[in-house]
Chain A
Amino acid sequence: MMYVFGGLLIASFIKQKDVLFSKKRNLILFVLLSAIGIALGAINMIRPYIPSIAFSLEKYFK
């Protein structure tokens, strides 16, 4: 799914490049959000069974 999202990001970038390059903040925001998404995807790929936030919170409360 990571590769699908990667492809979609590239397609979105190509399709919206006029909008992205019209203002610096558009590009920065797009790159920042994409980086966060890719980081989360990488975490999911490398460690798919990482304890979730709910699991960690439950353990902390107990």
Chain B
Amino acid sequence: MSEQLTMRQIVYMYLFISLSQILRQIPSALANEAGRSGYLSPFWSVLVILPLVLVILHIIRSFPGLNIYEIMLHLTGKIIAKFILILYMLWIFLFLSAKINIYSLTLQFTLMPKTRNDFFMQIMLILVFYALYKGEKTIFRFSEISLGPIILVIGVLFVCALTRLRTDYLLPVSTINLPQTVKASKYVITVGGNMIIALFFADRLGISLTKNQVRKLWLGALIFIVLSFIITVFTFGITGASLTAKLPFPFYITVKSISFFNIFERFEVVVTLICILSDFITICIMFLILMKLIRWLFALEDKWFLFVPLAMIIYYLSYLVSSTQFEHDFIYKYVIVNANIIFQYIIPLLLGVICLLKRKHIKKPY
């Protein structure tokens, strides 16, 4: 009972882990791809993210109380399920290495440019170990408690920033740019796909999904899209699309020009802290998922002995994957975005289709 999670915790976790990418990568990527009209791209992403939510709900309802591995065992058999687990493991290794890298690059860009990035990584791994030691429920509760104040802070920033918004940076939007906004929406879709964490923790949600839980998942997806849109609008409206495209953390520069009635300033430190917390929780959750994947793959009973070897691999892999901001931007744009689409959309969609085709043969465990 104490290991049970609620749908609310899953949704809060989803929004929390998406925050750093919404503040950092999405505005920059949208500006690069679609220019001034890039802020329309979150609306196009509705067409993909909402069906993903439908697929996830369908899979969870068809197999109540089971996680993604157990579901795959029923749908595809043991060999294919284990093969897909190996692919997911490789994806998470890449994702985690890049995430630790971007977290240290963010701290170097914003607050501590002279500190070596291995120092940041070491501190992060110690904190991740401590968080994992406390249990996954603690991590979910942390995101549940922290998300509210963070959304409030972002709301206050927006209220203070309204007077600095320049409509000439946002309008006019010509129809010539609309195809580019559709193409750019993949950068929002790739973050919105974090919703699949629900499948990895579906066995902790209980036997049946209530209407309230289903409503929360839909609401979570909509809040993500609205948040992406608002952050992008404010970043473009204050900093401008051309400068946003060139910056690794454009919202940080946007917030530098915001003050609270000319009394309180320097909110950029708060924004950096929000990003770091989001990165920290993302690393914790991905580490948890990685250990779960290894436990399922090798049918282990305990997984704690895996932490130090995995931490070592991820630490050194982060140097091998990318070492500078430019390299990270390249690997994010050409590898991680496409890999995310495969693992967050295509594989769950295939599972959903198989689930639909086999629905008459599915024997529910409860």
CB atoms of A40 and B312 under 8 A apart: yes
Given contacts A40-B312, A41-B316, A57-B335, contact A52 B302 (CB under 8 A): no
User: For chain B residues 289-311, which have a beta carbon within 8 Å of chain A?
Assistant: 294, 298-302, 304-311
Q: Are B319 and A44 in contact (CB under 8 A)?
A: yes
**Beta-carbon nearest neighbor of A41 in chain B:** B316
Question: B interface, by DSSP: helix, strand, loop or mixed?
Answer: helix
Contact between A5 and B312 (Cβ–Cβ < 8 Å)? yes
CB-defined interface of A42-62 with B at 8 Å, one 1/0 digit per residue? 011000001011110110010
Known: A38-B312, A57-B331. A29 touches B320 (CB 8 A): no
Given A29-B300, A54-B327, A43-B316 contact (CB < 8 Å): yes
Are B308 and A26 within 8 A (Cβ)? no
- A55 B327 Cβ-Cβ under 8 A: yes
Q: How far is the CA of A15 from the CA of B330 in the complex (A)?
A: 41
Asked if A25 meets B312 with Cβ closer than 8 Å, knowing A55-B327, A57-B330, A58-B327, the reply is: no
CA distance A43 to B123 in the complex (A): 22
Residue ID in chain A nearest B299 by CB atoms: A25
A54 touches B316 (CB 8 A): no
A31 CB to nearest B CB, Å: 9
- How near does chain A come to B290, taking the closest CB pair, in angstroms? 11
Majority SS at the chain A contact face: helix
Q: How many inter-chain contacts with C-beta < 8 Å in the A-B complex?
A: 94
Do the beta carbons of B310 and A33 come within 8 Å of each other? yes
Tell me how far the C-beta of A55 lies from the nearest C-beta in chain B, rounded to whole angstroms. 6
| A54/B321 contact (C-beta < 8 A), A29-B306, A61-B334 known | yes
- Measured CB to CB, the nearest residue on chain A to B312 is A37
Residues of A within 8 A of B299 (CB): 25
Whether the pair B313, A26 counts as a contact (CB closer than 8 A) is no
Among B298, B302, B308, B328, contact of A8 (Cβ-Cβ < 8 Å): B308
Give Cα A25–Cα B303 distance, bound, in whole angstroms.
Answer: 12
The answer to whether B305 and A5 touch across the interface, beta carbons within 8 angstroms, is: no
Set B118, B310, B320, B322: member contacting A50, Cβ < 8 A: B320
Question: In the bound complex, do residue B308 and residue A54 qualify as a contact, i.e. CB atoms below 8 Å apart?
Answer: no
Interface size on A, residues (CB 8 A): 30
Is A33's CB under 8 angstroms from B327's CB?
A: no
List, in ascending order, chain A residues with CB within 8 A of B300's CB: 23, 25-26, 29
- Interface membership of chain B positions 325-339, coded 1 if the CB is closer than 8 angstroms to chain A and 0 otherwise: 001101100110000
Q: Are B315 and A1 in contact (CB under 8 A)?
A: yes
Contacts of B307 in A (CB 8 A): 12
Kindly state whether residue B227 has any CB partner on chain A within 8 Å: no
Known: A44-B316, A50-B320, A54-B322. A26 touches B302 (CB 8 A): yes
- When chains A and B are docked, how far (Å) is the Cα of A36 from the Cα of B306? 13
Closest residue of chain A to B331 (Cβ to Cβ) is A54
Question: A26-B300, A36-B313 in contact; A52/B319 too (CB < 8 A)?
Answer: yes
Q: Are A58 and B330 in touch, CB under 8 angstroms?
A: yes
Is the pair B330, A36 in contact by a Cβ cutoff of 8 Å?
no
Q: How far is the CB of B322 from chain A (nearest CB, A)?
A: 4
CB contact between A16 and one of B305, B312, B317, B327 (< 8 Å): that residue: B305
Check A9 against B309 for contact (C-beta < 8 Å): yes
Judge whether A52 and B306 touch: CB under 8 Å.
no
* Chain B residues with a Cβ under 8 A of chain A: 118, 122, 294, 298-302, 304-313, 315-317, 319-323, 327-328, 330-331, 334-335
8 more CB-based (< 8 A) A-B contacts, given A5-B308, A23-B300: A8-B312, A16-B305, A25-B298, A30-B309, A37-B310, A37-B312, A38-B312, A50-B320
18 interchain pairs, CB-CB under 8 A: A8-B308, A8-B312, A9-B309, A12-B307, A12-B309, A19-B302, A23-B300, A29-B300, A33-B310, A36-B309, A37-B313, A40-B312, A40-B316, A40-B320, A50-B320, A53-B322, A54-B322, A54-B331
